[in-house]
Amino acid sequence: MKKRIAILGSTGSIGTQTLDVISNFHHFFEAEVLTAHNNAELLIIQARKYNPNIVVIANEKKYLQVKNALSDLPIKVFAGNKSIADVVESDEIDIVFAALVGFSGLIPVINALQYGKKIALANKETLVVAGALIKKIGEEKPVSIIPVDSEHSAIFQCLAGEYKNEIDKLILTASGGPFRTKTHEQMKNVTVKEALTHPNWNMGTKITIDSATMMNKGFEVIEAHWLFNVPATKIEVLVHPQSIIHSMVQFADGSVKAQMGIPNMRLPIQYALSYPDRLKNNLPVIDFNKLQQFTFEMPDTQKFPCLALAYSALENGGNMPCIMNAANEIAVQLFLKEKINFHGISNIIEETMQKSTFIKNPSLNDLIKSDTEAREVAKKIK
């Protein structure tokens, strides 16, 4: 039978690529639920093409626009963030594909886990903000989380058949982003356009800026800690500008496994949906005859302080990663609106982490309050 997929965030970069994968494997998958935050126009187009059972538009002001546009189809239309969180309870859903951006993905993922749904996780902020809480739910319920990030998908694949063997370290590779070769002083005046020009990957706006600051890699360190139960001291970041090796695992005997592939998110998306099977596709493959070299370098945390801040947040634990994430979301918005310079992003995050209320063992309500408080703190930083 076809696997029925709920795509939370279907109009974003990952969501649209997920629908491409579903189109290419329509005998195996079908879109059961599509949700969008604000892009009603694209949601309508997607709904008419994929004919899901349910669509949800988070922006309630656009409910009638979506409802009226789909009135000739047997599609149920809902609105509001609560509807996105509620819809994952449906018995008609086999996989919840979490592609929402930022903190907004947390509640729907938690709800899906509590209802025993298999999660394809592309929303790294869920584990960054509430890793301990997610882990606790996982211990109480037989749930499955398949990572979609290319780095975590790579580690997940490297660990297949190895779960009884001791991990010496996880090696998360990073492209280095658009400013890898720039000096700290040169980066001070980079433009939004420059920051949004990634050398290897075609991603959404938020994650592209996070890649430029290397905060995205910091998030991935935290995510890897919770996904694979490995301490931060055993998680290393290595800059690999070619983006062919997506990550590696070094085992206790010194052996290293690496997962390689072209830099295309459709590969980890497809694997998350088809796991444990691999489906043949028409994507281009690596031509090793044309690869001149693989290069590696250590990340410069003086030039990219967001990476160091993420390690610090993980070490402090509690609600500190939640505070860091909230501050980052605000800082990225300010940078995109050209209200701060590039260095202002890390400055706002660091100051917010210092000024916000720390809670060692936060509940879900504590995390929601921490997110709100940190955003207000970040907005007041000059």
Over the stretch 41-92, which tens digit does the pLDDT of each residue have?
Answer: 999 999 999 999 999 999 999 999 999 999 999 999 999 999 999 999 999 9
Contact 94, 118 (CB under 8 A): yes
Q: Is the pLDDT of residue 163 over 90?
A: no
CATH 2.120.10.90 fits 3-147, yes or no: no
Q: Of 297, 126, 316, whose CA–CA distance to 214 is shortest?
A: 297
Distance CA(340)–CA(245), nearest Å, equals 34
Cα 357 to Cα 376: distance, rounded to the nearest angstrom: 12
Confidence of residue 104 (pLDDT cuts 50, 70, 90): confident
Which pLDDT does position 154 carry in this prediction? 98
pLDDT at 141: 78
Specify whether the CB–CB gap between 335 and 195 falls below 8 A: yes
Token pair, residue 103, equals: 């903190």
Measured distance CA(216)–CA(201) in Å, rounded:
13
Domains of the chain, residue spans: 3-147, 153-263+293-316
Helix (H, G, I), strand (E, B), or coil: what is residue 277?
coil
CB 292, CB 232: distance < 8 Å: no
CA 323/CA 39 separation, integer angstroms:
28
Beta-ladder partners of 256: 250
Q: Judge contact between 380 and 327, C-beta under 8 A.
A: no
Q: Answer positive or negative: Cα dihedral of 352, 358, 360, 364.
A: negative
| Per-residue model confidence as pLDDT tens digits over 310-321 | 999 999 999 999
343: confidence class by pLDDT, cuts 50, 70, 90: very high
pLDDT tens digits, 201-257? 777 788 899 999 999 999 999 999 999 999 999 999 999 999 999 999 999 999 999
